[in-house]
């Protein structure tokens, strides 16, 4: 029987949360605002309705622009409202 040592357990890292959304704004330096849409079921009537939230995300190289479809990844808190970072750009906006 093989048991994991303490150093093996420290090297194992859990998967970070990823979300996909559309860039609303890239006006700030190294920051983008991403709209994330999701469906919610009404507790009483059972109908699904659309909700959305805006995430402030870190974009180190200022790669993303408004309208791009991007994937963001959870990270440590970088400012009061920013605790997501740009993982990759899935689709560029039509210009």
- Summarize pLDDT for 70-93 with one digit per residue, the tens: 999 999 999 999 999 999 999 998
Q: How many CB atoms lie within 10 A of CB 24?
A: 14
DSSP, res 67:
T
Averaged over 1-26, what is the pLDDT? 76
- Summarize pLDDT for 50-72 with one digit per residue, the tens: 999 999 999 999 999 999 999 99
DSSP H/E element including 54: strand 48-58
Contacts of 82 (CB under 8 A, 6+ apart): 31, 56, 57, 58
pLDDT at 3: 59
Tell me the C-alpha distance between 37 and 14, whole Å: 25
Cβ-in-10-Å burial (0-12, 13-18, 19+) of 21 comes to buried
Going along the chain from its start, the domains and CATH numbers come out as 15-91 (2.40.50.140)
Tell me the C-alpha distance between 61 and 85, whole Å: 11
């Amino acid at each position: 029987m093989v048991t994991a040592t303490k150093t093996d357990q420290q090297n194992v890292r859990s998967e970070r949360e990823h979300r996909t959304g559309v860039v609303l704004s890239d006006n700030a330096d190294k920051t983008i605002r991403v709209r994330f849409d999701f469906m919610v079921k009404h507790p009483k009537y059972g109908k699904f309705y659309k909700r959305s939230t805006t995430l402030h995300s870190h974009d180190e190289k200022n790669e993303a622009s408004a309208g791009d479809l991007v994937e963001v990844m959870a990270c440590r808190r970088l400012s009061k409202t920013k605790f997501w970072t740009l993982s990759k750009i899935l689709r560029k906006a039509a210009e």
